[in-house]
Amino acid sequence: MLNPLPPLNALRVFEVVARQLNFRLAADELEVTQAAVAQQIRGLEAHLGVPLFERLPRGLRLTDAGLGYSHSIRSALALIGEATAALRPDDRHLTVSVTPSFASRWLIPRLGAFTALHGDIDLRVLASERLSRFQADGVDLAVRYGVAPFGPGLNAQLLAHQQLIAVASPALLARTGPPRDLDGLQRYVLLHDAHNVWPRYIAELFGQALPNMRKNLRFNQTSLAIEAALAGQGLALCSELFVEDDLRSGRLVKVFEQALAMDKHLYLVWPRKERSAATLERVRAWLIDQASNA
């Protein structure tokens, strides 16, 4: 049977003595007596069954075994320190989890304003289609699309109502002509994302089901469908929130005035047992302000 691990305190004393190579200097650093340091080292050597130091007239010298052991123990103590620090993160650090489309189409264009206002906050943006787990992924705040509540132990606050609009490049509409009916729509390529909401939108707009469209392009992310619309490749159906700047600048225009109201919306979600409460409140308030002033 293997011997149990040495006491952590003895390893800590050993690391200091290995650096100082002097019991007195090590005792000063540890704020204990020289006798206590010597006792810890003797106990550690007895536990390991090998000498770690050569006692010299003036100071100490590591044995070959002690030298190799000191490198390993120093690395191990550093890992323990890093793991412990991760449990008590700096209040200025905050990780927010968002989808890639929300990050690229809404959040990133506004981050300059955020850093100008909250330059002391170290914000980490985690963009992923996967639903992040707060504790396992180190996430403090998430933007989620759905219906509240999102689960036990989680707070939720509405960020923005979702409504979808059809958009296109004005140059494409001028070249092809506005699609006033289903026949006119057949002249265009429909740009789909993973949500595939075009059938529902067309059914509400024209009062009949989507016909077998001849031209379609499909993307796994809404942001890619919007980029294709900006490039004049077809009509995209997307959240109005994601194209506000493009509509204002004229890079995109609404194809139809009618919007499709969704039953799911964007929420800010965070654990009730929150870390960095003050920083979280500042980031949350800024996001709500940006969404309300859009």
**Residue ranges of the domains in the chain?**
8-87, 93-162+264-292, 163-261
Q: What is the CATH number of domain 93-162+264-292?
A: 3.40.190.10
Residue-by-residue DSSP string for 210-253:
----S-EEE-SSHHHHHHHHHTTS-EEEEEGGGGHHHHHHTSSE
Within 32-166, residue ranges assigned H as helices are 34-48, 64-87, 100-102, 111-117, 134-137
Predicted pLDDT of residue 16 = 92
Residue 1, CB-side half-sphere exposure with 13 Å CA sphere: 3
Query: Count of CB atoms within 10 A of residue 55's CB?
Result: 10
Q: What is the DSSP letter of 177?
A: -
Residue 236 makes CB contacts below 8 A (sequence gap 6+) with 166, 167, 168, 191, 193, 225, 226, 228, 229
Please check the confidence at residue 88 and state whether its pLDDT lies above 60.
no
Q: Answer with the residue of higher pLDDT: 151 or 123.
A: 123
The class of domain 163-261 in CATH terms is alpha beta
Instruction: Choose among 96, 103, 98: nearest CA to 223.
Output: 103
Residue 138 makes CB contacts below 8 A (sequence gap 6+) with 86, 95
Please check the confidence at residue 207 and state whether its pLDDT lies above 90.
no
Mean pLDDT (whole number) for 36-47: 93
Residue 191 · residue 215 · CB < 8 Å: no
Mean pLDDT (whole number) for 97-119: 92
Instruction: Choose among 186, 178, 168, 179: nearest CA to 226.
Output: 168
Q: Coil, helix or strand for 26?
A: helix
Predicted pLDDT of residue 1 = 41
pTM of the entire structure?
Answer: 0.66
Task: Kindly tell me the number of DSSP H helices and DSSP E strands found in the chain.
Answer: 13, 13
Tell me whether the omega of the peptide bond preceding residue 149 falls within 30 degrees of 0, making it cis: yes
Query: Count of CB atoms within 10 A of residue 98's CB?
Result: 21
Q: What is the mean pLDDT of the chain?
A: 89
Residue 119 makes CB contacts below 8 A (sequence gap 6+) with none
Integer Cα distance of 115 and 117 in angstroms: 5
Tell me whether the CATH fold assigned to 8-87 matches the one assigned to 93-162+264-292. Answer: no
Residue 256 makes CB contacts below 8 A (sequence gap 6+) with 165, 166, 205
List for the chain the helix, strand, coil content (%; round to 5).
45, 20, 35
Q: What is the CATH number of domain 8-87?
A: 1.10.10.10
Predicted pLDDT of residue 276 = 67
Least confident range of 38-42, 119-123, 188-192, 258-262: 119-123
- pLDDT tens string 242-252: 999 999 999 99
Residue 29 makes CB contacts below 8 A (sequence gap 6+) with 16, 20
